[in-house]
Amino acid sequence: APWHLMMSLTPSRGCLLDLPWEDILVPHILCHLPLQQLLSLQRVSKSFQSLIQLYLANMRCFDSSQIGPAIPRAAFVNLLKDNEVLQKLVLQNCSDWLTDRELLPVIGQNHHLHQIQLKGCAQLSRHALVAISLSCPNLRRLSLAHCEWVDSLSLRSLADHCKALEAVDLTACRQLKDEAICYLVQKCSRLKSVSLAVNANVGDVAVEEIAKCCPELEHLDLTGCLRVKNDSIRVLAEYCPKLRSLKVKHCHNVAESSLSILRSRGVELDVEPPLQRALVLLQDVVGFAPFINLQI
């Protein structure tokens, strides 16, 4: 294993560290080791510490979950202080302490980010999203699920500056209403995946605007959007020929009359047809499914 190889080839044996650091060790060897083991490797010697610092400064992807169940605030700040080439930033297990103070310097010095995951980072503010929009013009994927600090003004900033956005997760961003979603999709017409789940303020107006502005749309999550009705689902079917999946569970005003159009096209839905649901319920009650031709 690479780990055992590196631990055995200490500087005293004059082998590993004699290899070119930037051309060989960083891009071809260290990249295969888990981040947590790389951090442990720093303790081998001062030379290894310098090597790992070089690796961290040139790291393209940072996923905090690779470090362990919880990453300390100081460790996060130290790990990314010299990095200006990040392309993917995934922040998990740090919602207890991550604030604008820690995140904004990282965002401000990394202009090549194309994927950011901030799911559940509840202690950030709208300034974090504004900073992302101003610093990351090439952003393609953004998750803000369960970030209730996201408001219409910060979302407008994202829409104005990140027009290459292809996927956005706004699950449980409860401040957002139809108007904010409409502005986003009017500016970001390349969107392929959108989640507006668990937002009671989102209704037909937003869904219809998504359908008309985003012809490349493939995935839409409307789980728990109680104001969404059949009319907007029909518009979705008309304007989005590339749609592959639609989630409408707990959308009580969406019926099979509109879903059947998408179902006939092979779109993956998270609700069963009425007859199928009835059979499942019957099976639960009596312990068997009757032999009924479901093609009828």
Are the CB atoms for 41 and 31 separated by under 8 Å?
no
Q: What pLDDT shows up at residue 18?
A: 62
* C-alpha to C-alpha distance for 181 and 279, rounded to whole angstroms: 38
Q: What pLDDT shows up at residue 219?
A: 98
Coil, strand or helix at 251: coil
- pLDDT (tens place) for every residue of the chain, 296 residues total: 444 544 444 444 556 666 666 666 766 667 777 777 777 777 777 877 888 888 889 999 999 988 877 788 888 998 899 999 999 999 987 889 999 999 999 999 999 999 999 999 999 999 999 999 999 999 999 999 999 999 999 999 999 999 999 999 999 999 999 999 999 999 999 999 999 999 999 999 999 999 999 999 999 999 999 999 999 999 999 999 999 999 999 999 999 999 999 999 999 999 998 765 555 455 656 565 554 444 33
Q: What pLDDT shows up at residue 284?
A: 58
Q: What is the DSSP letter of 28?
A: I
Q: What pLDDT shows up at residue 224?
A: 96
Q: What pLDDT shows up at residue 40?
A: 77
Long-range CB pairs of 201-206 (<8 Å, 24+ gap) are 201/174, 201/176, 201/177, 201/227, 202/176, 202/177, 202/178, 202/227, 202/228, 203/178, 203/227, 203/228, 203/229, 203/232, 204/228, 204/229, 204/231, 204/232, 205/178, 205/232, 206/177, 206/178, 206/181, 206/182
Are the CB atoms for 129 and 157 separated by under 8 Å?
yes
Q: Is the pTM of this model over 0.85?
A: no
Q: What pLDDT shows up at residue 220?
A: 98
234: tokens are 């029909």
